[in-house]
């Protein structure tokens, strides 16, 4: 078992090394090698996952990684109920994305390089979730950050892509600073960063104040990696990378890391109601805020990007109010339907030669019937319509928020659920239904269904988008997924928990989704009221949302531009040029003058040298006599 657990992370590393070192010779088979590596990783994970389901926990130390006197940081891997859920999501969904990428990236000049980065991405994420200590988590944390930079800017000859990669890298460094501070506080207080040495002793070692500092510092890291307000600004620009990369980032890897980290650190957060309130409040605000921006966008990938921000907000509501299992449950179901949504968007782009605007589409289901069905399934799932996967996990989060005494967060979550259903079916109706908006466009582009290598992984995720939430059903008075995850991340006990009718809450949640779908149907199918009419009626609001609250402009004028001014005009033109360079030039000028002076003494005449020697002897003699007197 010890070797099998290690093989889970070794397989994608081997795929990365083969394609990275021998890509010149393997470039035609790079996709097969990379997908095979992920398939072997998933198969290696099956038996450990099954053993954890049976009640076992595995914590293996392979060697001492960093010995610091009495502090020894091991290289160890831990398989428990929390990491098992993440392990299934990362290996299986990433495997489907790798298979899909074989068709999507076919013919790209960077084919081998793409799969090299993709394998490294998954390796880093597996290290993040399986590592048994915070430093190993941090290595994986930085690894996925690096890979996101490489993959977002994959088409680096395109300026918008390279800029987007840089933006993601820089914004994440802000969050990572918080993560490092949190880990240093843990190391200082526990003299260890290993989970087994930290979590059982949290209540004996930490005060509530220290737990709050650690919790908030770690959450700053989560805000960057999982794109929560205000560190969300990199995620929508990340759409510049290949669409399967967007699917991987949004569904199975990078942005889920922050949610996992908070759930993993549940013992610390349980000690700090302030930190938990911040996590839940930021999550609720981000969910609502991102959903409003998705209402007006016409770029199909950016609509999905804003929906990811919103759904991540739901996950942070779950872990923030103390129902950790619900946050992780939604992470799992979200991986299924969000992975499918991005792969479906990629299929549309592949067929439409890269076109993204919903204004150019319409009636596409006639050309792409399977993709249309799958996108409807995924949209029903994200809209929280029973019996699709998203209904069970989202409902668990909102019910948990209300039970834990957060009625305002519950209201915000329900309103966001309405907006989610509306903008997702606005997307579906605009792209796949109605009439073709640009005559003969599909004929000219030879629009067709995606090839089998792309459509089969989509169907697999489509099936999981339907049944993946059924583990959230009550069986014999308990919820299987809750009981399973609670072994590692138990629900926070609150003395004054309120209890509401579960059937009523489920009904309200489903109705909000249905009302959102009905509203989109009225506007975009029946056209009883047109979108243009609504936009003109609420023009200031529409303009604000269409320009995403001018967030990028705000960041540019109040953060980027001042830093640029300080760097260019003050540090460069004043400090560097006028002070440092001028100082160096001054010393050079002085040296030059002194050299010129001594050079004039070198005449070549003995009489001149004797003269200067005499002068020197007289001066030294005078100085000596003055000292004696």
> Greater confidence, 236 or 223?
223
Q: φ, ψ for residue 523 (rounded to 5)?
A: -85, -40
- Name the band, by pLDDT with cuts 50, 70 and 90, for residue 626: confident
pLDDT at 498: 57
Same domain, 534 and 622: no
23 within 8 A of 112, measured Cβ to Cβ: yes
Rounded distance between C-alpha atoms, residue 118 and residue 292, angstroms: 32
- Tell me which residue of 75, 57, 54 sits closest to 66, measured CA to CA: 75
**Tens-place pLDDT, residues 253-305:** 889 999 999 999 999 999 999 999 999 999 999 999 999 999 998 889 999 99
- Tokens describing residue 96: 């489907």
Burial of 611 (0-12, 13-18, 19+ CB in 10 A): exposed
Q: Tell me: do 587 and 442 sit in the same domain.
A: no
477 and 407 in one domain? yes
What pLDDT is stored for residue 629 in this prediction?
Answer: 66
Q: CA angle at residue 246 from 242 to 250, to 5 degrees?
A: 170
Q: For residue 475, what are the β-bridge partners?
A: 478
pLDDT at 530: 85
Helices 159-190, 134-152: inter-axial angle, 10-degree rounding: 180
484 lies in the same domain as 610: no
Residues 473, 589, single domain; the answer is no
Given 478, 513, 546, which residue is the final one in a domain?
Answer: 546
Number of domains within the chain: 2
Domain range holding 476? 272-546
Checking if the pLDDT of 501 tops 80, the result is no
With a CB cutoff of 8 Å and minimum separation 6, the contacts of 146 are 124
The pLDDT confidence band at residue 535, using thresholds 50, 70 and 90, is confident
Query: Looking at residue 563, what is its pLDDT?
Result: 79
pLDDT of 459 > 60? The answer is: yes
Per-residue pLDDT at 494: 62
- Pick from 509, 530, 546: which residue ends a domain? 546
Helix axes 257-264, 324-351, angle to 10 degrees: 170
Residue spans of alpha helices (H) in 433-501 = 441-445, 452-467, 480-485
* pLDDT tens sequence across 127-158: 999 999 999 999 999 999 999 999 999 998 88
Q: What angle do CA 294, 310, 151 make, to 5 degrees?
A: 85
The answer to the question of residue 202 being in a domain is no
Judgement on whether residues 496 and 593 belong to the same structural domain of the protein = no
Question: Binning pLDDT at 50, 70 and 90, where does residue 319 land?
Answer: very high
Residue 619, domain member (yes or no): yes
Of 37-51, 211-225, 378-392, 544-558, minimum mean pLDDT range: 544-558
The closest alpha carbon to 167, from 557, 563, 552, 572, belongs to: 552
Q: Which residue has the higher pLDDT, 517 or 534?
A: 517
Residues 329, 445 within the same domain:
yes
Q: What share of the chain has pLDDT > 70, as a percent?
A: 98
**For 512-524, what is the mean pLDDT?**
95
Beta carbons within 10 angstroms of residue 253's beta carbon? 29
Output 121 or 625, whichever has higher pLDDT.
121
Q: Is position 110 within any domain?
A: no
Share the mean pLDDT of the chain.
90
Rounded alpha-carbon distances, angstroms, from residue 251 to 82, 182, 208: 17, 26, 34
Question: Of 1, 161, 7, 11, which Cα lies nearest the Cα of 94?
Answer: 11
Structural domain includes residue 247: no
User: Considering the domain boundaries, does residue 134 fall inside one?
Assistant: no
Residues 351, 497, single domain; the answer is yes
Is residue 506 helix, strand or coil? helix
Q: Is there a domain that residue 11 lies in?
A: no
CA–CA gap between residue 109 and residue 423 (Å, rounded) = 35
Task: Read off the pLDDT of each residue in 203-228 and give the average, rounded to a whole number.
Answer: 95
**Could you tell me if residue 396 is inside a domain?**
yes
Q: Is 277 exposed, middle or buried (0-12, 13-18, 19+ CB in 10 A)?
A: middle
Domain end call among 546, 578, 601: 546
Shared-domain flag, residues 396 and 532: yes
Q: Which residue has the higher pLDDT, 586 or 367?
A: 367
The CB-side HSE value for 530 (13 A sphere, CA atoms) comes to: 3
Which of 153, 115, 137 shows the shortest CA–CA distance to 32?
Answer: 115
Contacts of 207 (CB under 8 A, 6+ apart): none
HEC-encoded secondary structure of 346-372: HHHHHHCCCCCEHHHCCCHHHCCHHHH
One domain for residues 561 and 429: no
pLDDT(238) > 90: no
Q: Do 533 and 559 sit in the same domain of this protein?
A: no
DSSP 533-564: HHHHHTHHHHHHHHTGGGHHHHHIIIIIHHHH
pLDDT number for residue 66: 84
471-497 pLDDT tens trace: 988 776 678 999 999 999 888 766 455
pLDDT at 496: 52
User: Do 472 and 338 belong together in one domain?
Assistant: yes
Assess if residue 39 is contained within a domain.
no
CB atoms within 10 A of CB 436: 17
Separation in Å, CA 346 to CA 170, 368, 539, 550:
27, 12, 32, 28
pLDDT computed for residue 307 by the predictor: 95
Q: Which two tokens stand for residue 509?
A: 């949640």
Alpha-carbon 425 to chain mean position = 25
In angstroms, rounded to a whole number, what is the distance separating the alpha carbons of residues 24 and 20?
9
On the CB side of 301, how many CA atoms lie within 13 Å of its CA?
24
Q: What pLDDT does residue 24 have?
A: 84
């Amino acid at each position: 078992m010890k070797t099998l657990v290690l093989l889970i992370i070794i397989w994608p590393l081997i795929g990365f090394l083969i394609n990275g070192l021998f890509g010149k010779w393997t470039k035609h088979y790079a996709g097969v090698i990379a997908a095979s590596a992920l398939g072997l990783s998933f198969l290696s994970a099956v038996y450990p996952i099954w053993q954890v389901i049976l009640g076992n926990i595995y914590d293996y130390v392979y060697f001492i990684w960093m010995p610091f006197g009495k502090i020894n940081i091991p290289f160890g891997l831990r398989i428990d109920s929390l990491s098992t859920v993440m392990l299934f999501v990362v290996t299986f969904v990433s495997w489907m994305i790798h298979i899909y990428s074989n068709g999507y990236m076919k013919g790209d000049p960077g084919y081998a390089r793409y799969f090299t980065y993709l394998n490294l991405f998954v390796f880093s994420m597996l290290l993040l979730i399986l590592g048994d200590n915070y430093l190993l988590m941090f290595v994986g944390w930085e690894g996925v950050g690096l890979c996101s930079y490489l993959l977002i800017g994959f088409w680096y000859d395109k300026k918008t892509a390279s800029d987007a990669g840089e933006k993601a890298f820089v914004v994440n460094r802000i969050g990572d600073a918080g993560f490092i501070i949190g880990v240093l506080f843990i190391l200082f207080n526990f003299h260890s960063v290993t989970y087994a040495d930290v979590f059982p002793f949290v209540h004996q070692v930490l005060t509530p104040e220290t737990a709050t500092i650690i919790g908030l510092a770690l959450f700053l890291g989560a805000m960057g990696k999982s794109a929560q307000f205000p560190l969300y600004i990199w995620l929508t620009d990340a759409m510049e990378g290949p669409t399967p990369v967007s699917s991987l980032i949004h569904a199975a890897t990078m942005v889920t890391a922050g949610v996992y980290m908070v759930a993993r650190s549940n013992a610390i957060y349980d000690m700090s109601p302030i930190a938990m309130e911040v996590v839940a409040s930021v999550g609720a605000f981000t969910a609502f805020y991102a959903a409003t921006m998705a209402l007006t966008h016409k770029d199909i990938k950016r609509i999905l990007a804003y929906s990811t921000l919103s759904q991540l907000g739901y996950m942070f509501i779950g872990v923030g109010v103390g129902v950790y299992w619900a946050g992780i449950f939604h992470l799992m179901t979200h991986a299924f339907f969000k992975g499918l949504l991005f792969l479906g968007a990629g299929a549309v782009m592949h067929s439409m030669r890269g076109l993204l605007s919903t204004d150019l589409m319409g009636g596409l289901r006639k050309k792409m019937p399977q993709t249309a069905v799958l996108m409807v399934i995924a949209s029903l799932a994200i809209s929280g319509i029973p019996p699709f996967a998203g209904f069970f996990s989202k409902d668990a989060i909102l019910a948990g928020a209300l039970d834990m005494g957060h009625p305002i967060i519950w209201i915000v979550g329900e309103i966001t659920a309405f907006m989610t259903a509306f903008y997702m079916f606005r997307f579906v109706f605009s792209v796949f239904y109605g009439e073709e908006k640009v005559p003969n466009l599909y004929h000219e582009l030879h629009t067709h269904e995606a090839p089998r290598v792309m459509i089969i992984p989509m169907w697999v995720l489509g099936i999981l988008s339907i049944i993946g939430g059924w583990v959230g059903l009550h069986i014999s008075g308990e919820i299987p997924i809750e009981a399973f995850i609670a072994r590692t991340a138990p629900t926070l006990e609150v003395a004054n928990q309120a209890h509401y009718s579960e059937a009523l809450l489920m009904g309200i949640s489903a109705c909000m989704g249905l009302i959102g779908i009905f509203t989109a149907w009225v506007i975009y199918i029946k056209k009883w009221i047109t979108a243009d009419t609504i936009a003109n009626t609420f023009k200031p609001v529409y303009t604000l949302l269409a320009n995403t609250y001018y967030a990028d402009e705000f960041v540019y004028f109040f953060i980027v531009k001042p830093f640029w001014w300080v760097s260019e005009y003050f540090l460069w033109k004043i400090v560097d040029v006028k002070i440092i360079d001028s100082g160096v030039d001054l010393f050079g000028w002085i040296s030059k003058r002194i050299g010129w002076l001594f050079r004039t003494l070198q005449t070549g005449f003995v009489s001149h040298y004797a003269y200067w020697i005499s002068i020197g002897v007289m001066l030294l003699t005078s100085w000596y006599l003055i000292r004696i007197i």
